[in-house]
Amino acid sequence: HSNPQSDTNPEADCYSQAYKYPHTHPHSNAHSNPQMTLAQTVEVVRPSVVRIETFGGSGSGVIFKIEDLTAYIVTNWHVVSDAGYVKVTINDSRTYDKGLVHGTNVEKDLAVVSICCDSTFKAVEFGDTSDLQGGDEVITMGYPLAIEGEATITRGIVSAVRYDADCACEVIQTDAAINPGNSGGPLFSLDGNILGINTFKIEETRSGRPVEGLGFAVSASSAKGIAERLSHIEPDREVFGPENVFLNHDPSDGLIAAEYAGSVWRSDLYVSGIFVNPYDAVNDWSHGFMMRQTSEDGRMFLIFIIRSNRTWVVFTRGHDADATTRELDDGYLSGLDIKGGGENYLEATLEGDQGVFAVNGEIVATLDVSRADPAGYIAVVSGLYEGDEQHGAVTRVKGFTVAPIR
């Protein structure tokens, strides 16, 4: 979809290679500084390597510049995806819950996030990769597999440097281990400069045979200029969350329990949250999202919910003559967690007349939602059907987040 915050300029790669910045070393940063041991290099750069978490997973990143107590972090686009805010942790000690996503470049799988405000932030420079060659030693740092603790280090060599047509950029192939969670983290020279941003690894051939030592990073020659430009994009701040919400059941009022995302009014949006079942399926429950809610009495809406009978439902009420509530679609969910305290992750993306709905990471439907109003308020809701509320019970929602489709 169209994303005005994304950096999709076809000249971006040329720009990034032509846009030169001063750096400390007059010669290639690809080669080690004989005055620094590997342990010393790691000690210097570790405070700049961060963990990035969204409700869909986690990855890594690296601080590449600091301005006015704000640290700018380059990472992968696929780590932050369409999130407006992400959680950033430095040195496994300082956590910033609202790292702000400035902009993304989907083609080159890059994104920039900022955190504020701290005088102790540490940045690392991009290195010069112009004479980087096979056999040069490198290290990677990051937070693989969401393992708790400080950033881990792996060591290897440059296997090759080549142009990649898929990303229209220069990539570095390395045998240094790149595991899930390392995505977005830095590939360093032995003297501690950023040579690339780790992006992906190949684990098997097309025929399914396993392979080892095939990791790839977007080269600094392609990433540096793009990261700088993305850092200057003013992000769309019309987002909400992540917030933890408590929906109190009160069957006596005859109303759906709802908690709105503040005053956010959106047409195109991404909304997500982890719903915690109030009790097991012996007693009925239903919960999910209400979107594009417009009228004062709440009668115009688009709703996506899951139910304790292992089903999902999307229904709407628009400006029809009879203003009736109509079911758009429903389906069975074999993998739904229906026990008391069980958790299910719901996502919905609305763009124009199309809605995409997912449960626990799996898309369950792509629907025409044109019958709903084109924009409106957003809320988490519970107790959509009579009998779905037990007095005194609470439906919890963890990480209720609304982000614009940019």
- Confidence tier at 404 by pLDDT (50, 70, 90): confident
Taking only the tens place, the pLDDT of each residue in 137-152 is 999 999 987 677 788 8
Q: What is the three-class DSSP state of 399?
A: strand
240-404, what's its fold?
Jelly Rolls (2.60.120)
Which listed residue (7, 13, 82, 109) is catalytic?
A: 109
7 has catalytic annotation: no
Residue 278, pLDDT above cutoff 50: yes
Q: 109 an active-site residue?
A: yes
Q: What is the pLDDT of residue 29?
A: 39
Buried b / exposed e over 131-142, threshold 16 CB at 10 Å, is ebeeebbbbbbb
pLDDT digits (tens, 9 = 90+) for 15-49: 222 222 233 333 333 444 556 899 999 999 999 99
Q: For residues 65 and 228, give the distance between their C-alpha atoms in angstroms, rounded to a whole number.
A: 9
Tally: H helices and E strands in the chain: 4, 24
To the nearest 10°, report the CA torsion of 200, 156, 127, 88: 50
Q: Could you give the CA distance from residue 240 to residue 404 in angstroms, rounded to a whole number?
A: 9
pLDDT value of residue 207:
65
- Out of 118-132, 184-198, 232-246, least confident range: 232-246
For the chain, the structural domain boundaries read 12-231, 240-404
pLDDT in the model for residue 164: 85
More confident residue, 95 or 298: 95
Q: How far is CA 158 from the centre of its chain?
A: 29
pLDDT at 39: 92
Q: How far apart are CA 91 and CA 69, in angstroms?
A: 18
Higher pLDDT, 179 or 173: 173
- The Cα–Cα gap between 404 and 398 comes to 19
Q: Check residues 367 and 319 and name the one with the higher pLDDT.
A: 367
Query: What percentage of the chain exceeds 70 in pLDDT?
Result: 83
Among 183, 189, 231, 382, the active-site one is: 183
Whose CA is closest to 4, among 99, 102, 76, 72? Answer: 102
Chain-wide mean pLDDT for the chain?
A: 83
State the pLDDT at residue 8.
38
169 or 381: whose pLDDT is higher? 381
Among 58, 78, 189, 191, the one annotated catalytic: 78
**Which range has the worst mean pLDDT, 4-18, 104-118, 184-198, 319-333?**
4-18
Mean pLDDT of 396-401: 91
256-261 mean pLDDT:
88
**Mean pLDDT across 86-99:** 86
Q: Tens of pLDDT along 301-333?
A: 899 999 999 999 999 987 655 567 888 999 999
What is the per-residue pLDDT for 20? 26
The two tokens of residue 355 are 């809605």
For the domain made up of 12-231, give the CATH fold. Answer: Thrombin, subunit H (2.40.10)
Is the model's pLDDT at 211 over the cut of 70? no
* pTM of the predicted protein model: 0.54
Average of per-residue pLDDT across 193-206 = 78
